[in-house]
Structure 1
Amino acid sequence: MLRKLIGFVVCFVLFSFPWGDAYAQVYPETRLKDIGRIEGVRSNQLVGVGLVIGLQGTGDKGDLVLAMLGNLVENFGISIDRDDLKSKNTAVVTVTCELPPFARNGQKIDVVVSSAGDAKSLEGGVLLQTPLRAANGLVYAVAQGPISIGGFSAGSGGSSVSKNFSTTGRIPGGAIVERETRWDVQDDGKIMFFLNRPDFTTADRVARAINSSYGMAIASAVDAGTVEIAVPAQYRGNLTPFVASLEGIRVRPDAVARVVINERTGTIVIGGDVRIGEVAVAHGNLTVTVKGKKDVSQPEPFSLGETVVTSEATVAAEEEPGSLAVLRTTATVDDVVKSLNALGATPRDIITILQAIAQSGALQGELVIM
């Protein structure tokens, strides 16, 4: 397939593109709840360090687990020489989770348990009560329970077999919320709407859509990522129905023209607004063939020589002759893709062509290489 592209000259011509209905097809209307969030409505990360017991000889061997075991038994009023402690059935772990917004006391949430030492597996282990703290140092939840790792690890005689990661597991509903997070609204009766992808055009459209929906100027775009909304008097003290109605408002978001390339996998994603100016691209290829040949060298009679095997290499270079292919107007992404496919271009070839077009300044959009 690559050889078909040798010496091709590709011409891209950009003409004015009518927006209107075509633009609406590229970027359909979307609910506000799908493109942003209300200020204060967010999750919070929690983390803790604890002990997992009940392992079958796959625990930690370091000093940290021994120190934590010693502290554990001493907290229960048991005196023991720490030199007598064994840790093969115990492991030090980190426990993480996300505290969802509006979580209430007593609500259960899932936690992820990961080995922090050299434990080989957490299979069959039970997490002991572990406080989970936020970035402010306060305890918001407490986790405990049996671990489900969703896999296994076994080995004997130098051979081993495993499925998934046996040093990381989950405890469904393993943490109980002990401290609630409150949703606080500004005293001036205003709430903020944050866009997931800041864009001045989208922020302005959001404000206009809200004002049109309520028939009054209650929203204004503060910047590319924030829209300030004044709560109407009838909703003061009862924000739930107001926010629910906001989330259902539809708006057509805008986006930056962008081409995303992943060279490792040969993946190309072209945004709907990408255009290509007038440009000519030549994409060639040189094929080099190396062939090896073995031969036997015989000595002359009575020369006391030895028979040896020799090798010869033949190198040939071949460059296919150039040919010309003219592509028609490329006003849309669909036209660009059809033009490149018409040449039989592979994803690897298209990546190279797009990079060259971007370097020439003819690509009307941002080129992102992953």
Structure 2
Amino acid sequence: MKRIFIFLIIITFLSSLLGIVRIKDIATFRGAMDSQFFGIGIVVGLNGTGDDGYSYSPTILNMFEKYGASIPKEDLKSTNTALVMVLADIPAYYKVGMKIDVYLYAVGNAKSIENGYLLKTDLFGSDDNIYVSAEGQVAPLDENNYRFKVNGKIQNGGTIIKEIPQNIFKSEILTITLKPFEFLSASVVTDAINKKFGRNIAETYDKTAIKLKIPEEFKHDLIGFLSVIEEIEVIPSQVPLIVIKSDNSEILYGGTEKVKDITYMTGIYEINVKNNSTVSDLIRALKIVGLTPEKIIDILLYFHSIGAIEAEIVVLK
């Protein structure tokens, strides 16, 4: 009964992949249409890891006076504070009230800004108008690399407070990026867009990215153009799929897909895959040499990431 139940889940999952979806549900608009906004702010609560206040150049101090908060210079000499450059990239279709991530970079000689708090900071556009208000707790920019504690990030730490003029976005090219794990090829989306507009305004850049040229009739109505793109419907491609149980690496669906010839080292074993071996063959061989289900799945996911296994892999717990 349990096996039948799992099989029904898989069938439901597969069916959902084949339904019609809108571009807005499976993609984001990024790339060349983004505009960068910046400001100078102060991070407080650093417990002695901040600036000494004496290393600021006249240029930095002038920038702080022009773009920074109204804080006396003597307050910048505490080692519990740090002067930072605050940056944010905003796609052209973002609107007032939306939250965005902001990125912080120390401009003095602070040792670390991690776990500090960014005081309210205004972010300016290229026209010197304020478009974003940023504030919040600072997290590491790269959690896996602690050598760069002088950089940080505040997720959803910025709020758009002013409508962004479309003329700030200079490029006529927009990038559509397909979301991870969507069972959809970029060429399918490209074809759907070009069919909608009756001409080739979309071009496949790689397997997850599409370049769009804004049509002449939408040059002054970018939001309208994006709204049309978002509502275009596409049918996901039927890509090969492998479903594996995490506790025993048993294949529940698929497994006949070929693995490209590859040599891989793991521990004391050298794995040589060749002669049109299938995923099932590979799993069987890995089990024979005593690898754990967790290690086997790691190898499969790695092979998929480098293109040795082209089928999508779903791991069920």
The alignment's TM-score, normalised by the length of structure 2, stands at 0.46
User: Greater relative contact order (Cα 8 A, min sep 6): structure 1 or 2?
Assistant: 1
**Higher fraction of helix:** 2
